[in-house]
């Protein structure tokens, strides 16, 4: 039987606000346990929550970016359950009326482009963390509670169950990750848990309308794990059904070492969260003015930018996608274009350099693009020298290496100091060509017999003699004209 | 030694004594602390003489410098500086343990003061004690305190009312001139009535709930219990005001409720200062269930108000009966969630040697909470449960809106509403309590006000007889939103014409 996989994702995005969603404590990551827990976060008797409007502004930004509907009046609700890292015994979240409804995110896979529809996005607070024995000096037989994270603002973004493969789900998660960092509402740090994904996975025979029973895989914090977890979970469900069993609705955890998912709790153990509107918080009122103000501050979104990169700058879809992978990358791209204006620095060349030598050097040293060792101005200066024929592409890569190592401040300085300028004197090159033709009669024969490979070899010899400073095109033409005459 | 300090004085009288130097703030504080030390009523849960005296010294320094630069204040308002105040043990305090009269918070020390506590301290008041109440403010008789019931100073066999029973008993017995209370379903008005005092619950959102241990967040309000309307007006002015730490706090400028309190209403004459005032009597408040003696006392007070110029007319609050079930769904629902934080993990009572996490939760809460609190947590958990939420909680919210609409409709025909606070005088402490519904039904006249978020007060209007003892009766005045001034003015003129508020309990059981 052929099976179809059905996937919906719930992404928990930590919002990049300075203080928590309902308390004045800092949201900075990595502080000593409980040093960033305000008495509101500790749920001392008598404390009350006060909404951080910055968190609501983040939700509005997101709603605008995905084209969702922003509720003018949304409600905070209490989700009641007992857990040691949940100090109030309830989590403040949004239930019946979320701040954002609908919207969509465009994804690109090798199947092409498509939109993933969103169900909703709602604001809520994060819980604290339980630390178990052995961690951070917790004595044996004890658990510790760190409330630094308690009350950190989250936007929970829920997709419709419209994805049909693990690849598609991973592409969606990546696109969403790009978007939330792009619009500046999340730092996107996966290791620190700033972007956490739960996947709802079910399978059904191809052609069947009704959904199969789903399982939820919790807390996937890497795209690779997400993709793998969905694959193994779908496989598990298919095998279970084919062996005559049935999937039971449950929450599962992915174990990347064992490459399998494991049951965490079944539906029978599911809490009755007893949601009800939080009487401590008035409805969140969002005025049209507020929305318009945020709309006016919104950066150009990845999709619009990609269209512009292809239409205005002539980049291919692939190049446009790569250049717009992150906001800092595209900023760097535009800085290069601006710095190279009037010097023949074209977009295609800039994109090639960014995806080529810049990316590989960054990768090798584990740096982000905003930590690049070759500035946009330096790169523009280098590309300009290729464009005006001063140096060849090959030499340019050496110049780039010198700039990266910080040996010289500009491409011109490298070219000057190392004497890398392309030889313009055609007499000198003609001399080299004649020498090479004379020394390689066998290759000349082969070329004349129609073997283009031989031409390349001859050009290579001339280039070698010129120490790379000849213009390879000029050399090729010279050899052709000499041998045809 | 301090013979110059008068017994049973109101705040206004004590303020005069401080202002003219008859006694000092530390002397008044010492005197009050001596009274509180031997109350015979179980009204007091905690004192901290050292902290009180520190506050008194600071107040005296303020008084001395203020007196030097001032030639007497105009009008009836007076400075609260140097005057003693005791707080219901629902307000958290830095220098006194805060227990909410529950074992689960035995010995709990808050790292901060409630906004109301802070505001009164900023006004110069000296905190002298934390007072008994029903556990987490759940009760109508102060019999649900983990630290034992409080006695009514008028008759030690009787409850003082609840849940702010310790507050009312302490003021009625002359242990303190005034106290704070909280009112979720009548918890200021009913004990004030049963102890012969004046108490007011302001419009929801007037007083900050920051630092007030939550029972039912959408209903809880703080307010004062004192001897007179004037005292309440001055206290309430100091207690209210916008607080950015409470999102349900109303963004209003501070209001002086004492300003012009003695003036007649606009267009009224001095002889009939309430001239033109339309007072509505909800017919549902005077139906079956209201005791004859309460009815008679209210009638007499209404006759007095008429003499002062008010017009009495009948109005209707048809959903009065429904306010009881609506309240006893909404309040427990919120309480069940509000009290989840008392889990034995971070503070408060923790069961010894828990087997596992579930055992820690179950036993800490089972050992820490009393019967009535458990009952309300169970009711609240039930009404919020999957499958019952719509039938109970949503339905109760609908009723709540209808109750509020009833008040709006009634206020189209009157300026304020008058009626009883409770159907009877205080009942006996040891009255059989096999059926909690009986206690709930006694709240019938007070609950609607909280559901609608309106201001309301209790004014003493007479006594009922219980054997040889007298038990006080209060009249309730209910106003439209934010009309506290009108309530207080009406009560002020009634008190100017009567002397119920000046009566004091017999000295039995009171240490002289």
Chain segment B170-200, per-residue pLDDT in tens: 999 999 999 999 999 999 999 999 999 999 9
Q: Is A141's Cβ below 8 Å from some Cβ in B?
A: no
pLDDT of A342 higher than 90: no
* pLDDT tens digits, B349-403: 999 999 999 999 999 999 999 999 999 999 999 999 999 999 999 999 999 999 9
Give B218 to chain A, closest Cα distance, Å. Answer: 5
Lowest mean pLDDT, pick from A21-30, B73-82, B262-271: B73-82
Interface of B with A in 407-466 (CB under 8 A): none
The 3-state DSSP composition of chain A as helix, strand, coil percent (nearest 5) reads 40, 20, 40
pLDDT of B347 higher than 60: yes
The 3-state DSSP composition of chain B as helix, strand, coil percent (nearest 5) reads 40, 15, 45
Q: What is the mean pLDDT of residues A353-357?
A: 93
Non-local (6+) Cβ contacts of B183 within 8 A are B164, B189, B201, B220, B221, B222, B223, B446, B450
Q: Is B369's Cβ below 8 Å from some Cβ in A?
A: no
Q: What is the mean pLDDT of residues A220-247?
A: 95
* pLDDT tens digits, B221-239: 999 999 999 999 999 999 9
Q: Is A182's Cβ below 8 Å from some Cβ in B?
A: no
Out of A46, A51, A272, closest to residue B385 by CB? A272
Query: What average pLDDT does the structure give for chain B?
Result: 95
Non-local (6+) Cβ contacts of B346 within 8 A are A42, A43, A87, A145
pLDDT of B509 higher than 50: no
Q: Is B343's Cβ below 8 Å from some Cβ in A?
A: yes
DSSP B186-220: STTHHHHHHTT-EEEE--TTSB--TTB--SSTTT-
pLDDT of A421 higher than 90: no
Interface mutation target, options B337, B379, B395, chain A, most CBs of A under 10 Å? B337
Left if phi > 0, otherwise alpha if psi is -120 to 50, otherwise beta: which for B72?
left
Per the CB < 8 Å rule, is A46 touching B345? no
The CATH code for residues B26-68+76-322+394-502 is 3.90.1300.10
Residue numbers in B near A85 (CB within 8 A): none
pLDDT > 90: percent of chain B? 90
Lowest mean pLDDT, pick from A473-482, B26-35, B402-411: A473-482
- The CA distance from B186 to B458, in Å, is 10
* pLDDT tens digits, B311-341: 999 999 999 999 999 999 999 999 999 999 9
- The CA distance from A127 to A86, in Å, is 6
Out of B98, B343, B386, closest to residue A82 by CB? B343
Check the CA dihedral A188-A193-A195-A201 and report its sign. Answer: positive
Lowest mean pLDDT, pick from A385-389, B66-70, B321-325: B66-70
pLDDT at res. B62: 93
Please tell me whether residue B368 adopts helix, strand or coil conformation. Answer: helix
Residue numbers in A near B107 (CB within 8 A): none
* B390: nearest CA partner in chain A: A276
pLDDT at res. B343: 97
Task: Tell which wins on pLDDT, B65 or B423.
Answer: B423
Non-local (6+) Cβ contacts of B439 within 8 A are B139, B140, B141, B433
- Give the ipTM: 0.96
pLDDT at res. B512: 36
Lowest mean pLDDT, pick from A2-16, A149-163, B428-442: B428-442
**Any bridge partners for residue A153, and if so which?**
A125
pLDDT at res. A450: 81
Band of residue A20 on the pLDDT scale cut at 50, 70, 90: very high
Contact B119, B50 (CB under 8 A): no
Band of residue B510 on the pLDDT scale cut at 50, 70, 90: very low
- The CATH class of the A426-484 domain is mainly alpha
The most confident of the ranges A138-142, A149-153, A307-311 is A149-153
pLDDT of A41 higher than 90: yes
pLDDT of B68 higher than 70: no
- Cα–Cα distances in Å, from B190 out to A314, B125, B216? 80, 25, 18
Task: Tell which wins on pLDDT, B68 or A270.
Answer: A270
Band of residue B280 on the pLDDT scale cut at 50, 70, 90: very high
Contact A37, A148 (CB under 8 A): yes
pLDDT of A377 higher than 90: yes
Out of A39, A51, A276, closest to residue B112 by CB? A39
Q: What is the mean pLDDT of residues A334-355?
A: 91
pLDDT of B491 higher than 50: yes
* A277: nearest CA partner in chain B: B334
DSSP B403-446: HHHHHHHHHTT-SEEEEESSSSSPPBTTS--S-HHHHHHTTTTT
Per the CB < 8 Å rule, is B334 touching A80? no
Q: Which residues of B92-121 are buried (b: 16+ CB within 10 A; e: fewer)?
A: bbbbbbbbbbbbbbeebebebbbbbbbbbb
pLDDT at res. B433: 66
- The CA distance from A232 to B27, in Å, is 79
Out of A46, A51, A90, closest to residue B337 by CB? A90
Residue numbers in B near A34 (CB within 8 A): none
Query: What average pLDDT does the structure give for chain A?
Result: 92
Contact B154, B472 (CB under 8 A): yes
pLDDT at res. A210: 95
Per the CB < 8 Å rule, is A279 touching B334? yes
pLDDT > 70: percent of chain A? 99
- The CA distance from A263 to B105, in Å, is 39
pLDDT at res. B307: 98
pLDDT at res. A247: 95
Q: What is the mean pLDDT of residues A298-327?
A: 90
Residue numbers in A near B111 (CB within 8 A): 39, 44
Q: Is A25's Cβ below 8 Å from some Cβ in B?
A: no
Per the CB < 8 Å rule, is A80 touching B340? yes
Q: Are strands A76-80 and A90-94 parallel, antiparallel or unpaired?
A: antiparallel
Give A44 to chain B, closest Cα distance, Å. Answer: 8
Per the CB < 8 Å rule, is B105 touching A45? yes
pLDDT at res. B3: 55
Q: Is A82's Cβ below 8 Å from some Cβ in B?
A: yes
pLDDT at res. B496: 97
- The CA distance from B43 to B57, in Å, is 26
pLDDT at res. B2: 52
Burial class (CB in 10 A: 0-12, 13-18, 19+), A258: exposed
Q: Which residues of B are catalytic?
A: 88, 163, 187
* pLDDT tens digits, B70-124: 544 556 789 999 999 999 999 999 999 999 999 999 999 999 999 999 999 999 9
Q: What is the mean pLDDT of residues A51-65?
A: 98
- The CA distance from B99 to A360, in Å, is 64
Q: Where are the alpha helices (DSSP H) in A183-301?
A: 223-242, 288-297
- The CA distance from B97 to B103, in Å, is 12
Per the CB < 8 Å rule, is B340 touching A272? no
* pLDDT tens digits, A250-292: 999 999 999 999 998 776 667 899 999 999 999 999 999 999 9
pLDDT of A412 higher than 70: yes
DSSP A148-189: SSTT-EEEEEEE-S-B-SHHHHHHHHHHHHHHHHHTTS----
Residue numbers in B near A51 (CB within 8 A): 247
Q: Is A89's Cβ below 8 Å from some Cβ in B?
A: yes
Range(s) of chain A covered by CATH 1.10.10.410: 426-484
Q: What is the dihedral of CA B159, B163, B164, B170, to 10 degrees?
A: 20
Q: Where are the alpha helices (DSSP H) in B180-319?
A: 189-194, 229-239, 292-307
Per the CB < 8 Å rule, is A47 touching B108? no
Per the CB < 8 Å rule, is B333 touching A276? yes
Interface mutation target, options B87, B104, B219, B346, chain A, most CBs of A under 10 Å? B346
The structure's pTM equals 0.89
* pLDDT tens digits, A119-139: 999 999 999 998 887 776 788
């Amino acid at each position: 039987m052929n099976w179809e996989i059905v996937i919906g994702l719930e992404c928990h995005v930590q919002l990049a606000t300075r203080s928590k969603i309902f308390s004045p404590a800092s949201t900075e990551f990595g502080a000593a346990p409980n040093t960033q827990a305000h008495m509101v976060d500790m749920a001392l008797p008598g404390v009350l929550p006060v909404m951080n409007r910055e968190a609501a502004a983040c939700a509005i930004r997101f709603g605008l970016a995905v084209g969702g509907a922003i509720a003018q009046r949304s409600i905070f609700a209490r989700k009641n359950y007992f857990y040691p890292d949940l100090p109030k015994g309830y989590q403040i979240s949004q239930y019946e009326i979320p701040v954002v409804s609908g919207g969509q995110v465009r994804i690109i896979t090798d199947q092409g482009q498509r939109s993933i529809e969103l169900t909703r996005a709602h604001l809520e607070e994060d819980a604290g963390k339980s630390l178990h024995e052995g961690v951070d000096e917790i004595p044996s037989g004890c658990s510790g509670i760190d409330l630094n994270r308690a009350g950190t603002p989250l936007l929970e973004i829920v997709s419709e169950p419209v994805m049909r493969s693990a690849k598609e789900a991973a592409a969606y998660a990546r696109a969403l990750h790009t978007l939330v960092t792009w619009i500046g509402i999340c730092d996107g740090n996966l290791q620190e848990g700033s972007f956490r994904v739960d996947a709802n996975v079910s399978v059904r025979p191809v052609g069947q309308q009704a959904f199969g029973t789903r399982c939820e895989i919790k807390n996937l914090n890497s795209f690779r794990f997400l993709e793998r977890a969905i694959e193994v979970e779908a496989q598990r469900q298919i095998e279970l059904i084919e062996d005559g069993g049935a999937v039971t609705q449950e929450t599962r955890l992915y174990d990347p070492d064992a490459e399998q998912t494991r049951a965490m709790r079944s539906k029978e153990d599911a809490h009755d969260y007893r949601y009800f509107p939080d009487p401590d918080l008035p409805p969140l009122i969002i005025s049209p003015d507020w929305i318009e103000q945020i709309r006016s501050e919104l950066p150009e979104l990845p999709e619009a930018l990609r269209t512009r990169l292809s239409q205005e700058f002539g980049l291919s879809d692939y190049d446009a996608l790569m250049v717009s992978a992150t906001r800092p990358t595209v900023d760097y791209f535009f800085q290069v274009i601006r710095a190279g204006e009037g010097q023949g620095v074209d977009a295609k060349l800039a994109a090639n350099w960014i995806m080529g030598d810049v990316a590989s050097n960054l990768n090798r040293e584990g740096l982000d693009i905003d930590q690049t060792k070759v500035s946009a101005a330096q790169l523009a200066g280098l590309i300009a020298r290729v464009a005006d024929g001063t140096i060849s592409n090959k030499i340019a890569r050496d110049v780039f290496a010198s700039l990266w190592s910080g040996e010289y401040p500009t491409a011109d300085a490298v070219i000057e100091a190392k004497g890398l300028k392309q030889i313009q004197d055609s007499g000198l090159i003609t001399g080299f060509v004649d020498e090479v033709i004379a020394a390689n009669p066998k290759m000349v024969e082969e070329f004349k017999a129609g073997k283009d490979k031989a031409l390349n070899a001859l050009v290579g010899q001339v280039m070698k003699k010129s120490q790379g400073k000849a213009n390879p095109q000029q050399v090729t033409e010279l050899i052709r004209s000499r041998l045809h005459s | 030694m301090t013979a110059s300090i008068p017994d049973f004085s109101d705040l206004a009288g004590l303020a005069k004594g401080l202002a003219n130097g008859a006694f000092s703030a530390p002397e008044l504080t010492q005197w009050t602390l001596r009274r509180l030390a031997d109350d015979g009523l179980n009204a007091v849960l905690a004192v901290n003489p050292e902290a009180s005296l520190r506050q008194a010294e600071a107040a005296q320094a303020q008084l001395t410098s203020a007196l030097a630069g001032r030639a007497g204040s105009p009008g009836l308002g007076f400075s609260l500086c140097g005057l003693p105040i005791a707080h219901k043990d629902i307000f958290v305090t830095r220098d006194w343990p805060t227990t909410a009269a529950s074992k689960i918070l035995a010995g709990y020390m808050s790292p901060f003061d409630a906004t109301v506590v802070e505001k009164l301290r900023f006004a110069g008041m000296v905190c002298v004690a934390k007072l008994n109440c029903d556990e987490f403010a759940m009760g109508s008789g102060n019999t649900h305190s983990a630290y034992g019931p409080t006695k009514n100073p008028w008759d030690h066999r009787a409850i003082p009312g609840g849940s702010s029973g310790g507050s009312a008993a302490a003021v009625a017995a002359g242990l303190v001139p005034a106290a704070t209370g909280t009112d979720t379903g009548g918890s200021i008005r009913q004990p004030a009535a049963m102890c012969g005092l004046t108490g007011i619950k302001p419009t929801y959102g007037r007083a900050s709930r920051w630092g007030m241990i939550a029972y039912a967040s959408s209903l809880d309000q703080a307010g004062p219990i004192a001897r007179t309307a004037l005292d309440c007006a001055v206290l309430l002015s100091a207690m209210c005001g916008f607080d950015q730490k409470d999102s349900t706090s109303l963004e209003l400028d501070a209001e002086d409720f004492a300003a012009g309190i003695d003036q007649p209403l606009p267009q009224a004459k001095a002889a009939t200062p309430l001239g033109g005032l339309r007072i509505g009597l909800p017919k549902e408040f005077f139906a079956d269930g209201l005791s004859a003696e309460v009815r008679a006392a209210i009638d007499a007070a209404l006759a007095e108000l008429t003499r002062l110029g008010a017009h009495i007319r009948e109005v209707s609050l048809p959903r009065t009966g429904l306010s009881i079930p609506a309240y006893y769904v909404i309040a427990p629902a919120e309480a069940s969630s509000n009290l989840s934080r008392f889990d034995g993990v971070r503070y408060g009572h923790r069961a010894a040697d828990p087997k596992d996490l579930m055992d820690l939760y179950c036993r800490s809460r089972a050992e820490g909470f009393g019967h009535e609190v458990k009952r309300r947590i169970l009711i609240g958990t039930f009404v919020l449960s999957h499958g019952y939420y719509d039938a109970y909680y949503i339905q109760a919210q609908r009723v709540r809106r209808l109750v509020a609409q009833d008040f709006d409709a009634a206020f189209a025909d009157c300026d304020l509403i008058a009626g009883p606070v409770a159907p009877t005088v205080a009942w006996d402490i040891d009255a059989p309590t096999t059926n909690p519904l009986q206690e709930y039904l006694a709240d019938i006249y007070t609950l609607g006000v909280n559901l609608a978020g309106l201001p309301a007060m209790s004014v003493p209007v007479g006594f009922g007889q219980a054997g040889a003892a007298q038990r006080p009766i209060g009249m309730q005045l209910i106003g439209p939103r934010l009309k506290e001034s009108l309530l207080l003015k009406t009560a002020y003129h009634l008190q100017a014409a009567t002397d119920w508020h000046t009566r004091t309990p017999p000295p039995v059981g009171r240490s002289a």
